[in-house]
Amino acid sequence: MSQTMLSLVQQVTAELNLAVPSYVAGNPSQDVQQILALMNGSGYDLLKEYDWQALQVQYRFYTQSLTANATTVNGSTTLTFAAGTDLSNVTSQWQLSGYNIPQDTYVVSANNTTKEVVMSQMASGTGTQSVVCAQTAYDLPDDFETITDRTQWDKSKHWEMLGPEDAQQWQWLKSGYISTGPRVRWRILDGQFQIWPIMNTQEYLGWEYRSKGWARSDSNVVKNSFTVDTDTTVYDDRIMVLATKLKYFQVKNFDTTALSQDYQRYLSVAKANDKGAPNLSFAPYPSKVLIGYANIPDTGYGS
């Protein structure tokens, strides 16, 4: 079990021959306050240092959509849905698709009482028709740091999502004549996970990301820093102690040679042991699972 924030600070102060505190949070000692700040700084630095397996998180969600009859008026941005349509969850993260509705039209606002939606573009004609209203932008998790490449999948269709699209490709998809297909495209834009095209069915999407929640409360709540004496960390405890001692010497302008060597040596070992790695061969050979030189017949070709 990981040591608490109090235990880590006590270990650091004892090794630095400083007064060992009985508590940390709210302690008036400048040394204790500085060591806590340096320890949190070490946590932030280690987050960027390596893709620690303890910070890898899987994220899953269902896309949201509704299909209902709605009335457009040529030249108006107001779209009126049929009575009984539930617009309570519709926000500016949703998009609209239907006859008389231009491509790449988003919801500006929605009123579930009047069943009226203000669109980002004016309708190109007047009439009542079936309209798809679907969410295409999704909030990132609160502890999101970075997304993990090539983990984005449409689990409903068992297809990998295509992306991240760059700015030029994204605008081509949203503005071109031929811009839709069976594959889901994605991009992180405006602090949101955005998908294209708009979908009228519920899809189960998922990806992995690196969390910035390197600290944990005593009830295992994810946190971004130490704030309470009972907090713990997902990092190796010894790394936190060595990193904090190194930072303390740096801010005091002491000689950091020995501490830096200890920290870097321990850090390299921790990285190597953090998660598994594949065995690589200098003389790889083809798989024998499929037909190859090891299992083709000697005769009978074409018969």
Task: Please give the residue that has the higher pLDDT: either 166 or 180.
Answer: 166
Q: Is the dihedral of CA 30, 31, 36, 37 positive or negative?
A: positive
Per-residue pLDDT band for 167 (boundaries 50, 70, 90) equals very high
- Predicted confidence (pLDDT) at residue 1 exceeds the cutoff of 80: no
140 exposure class (CB count in 10 Å sphere: 0-12, 13-18, 19+): middle
Range from 126-135, 265-274, 290-299 carrying the lowest mean pLDDT: 290-299
Alpha carbon separation from 253 to 68, 246, 247, 250, 286 (Å, rounded): 68, 11, 10, 5, 57
Give the tokens for residue 127.
Answer: 């009439």
Mean pLDDT over all residues of the chain?
Answer: 93
pLDDT of 128 reads 96
Amino acid at 230: T
pLDDT of 293 reads 62
Contact 239, 266 (CB under 8 A): yes
Three-state DSSP at 135 gives strand
Contact 80, 70 (CB under 8 A): yes
Contact 131, 98 (CB under 8 A): yes
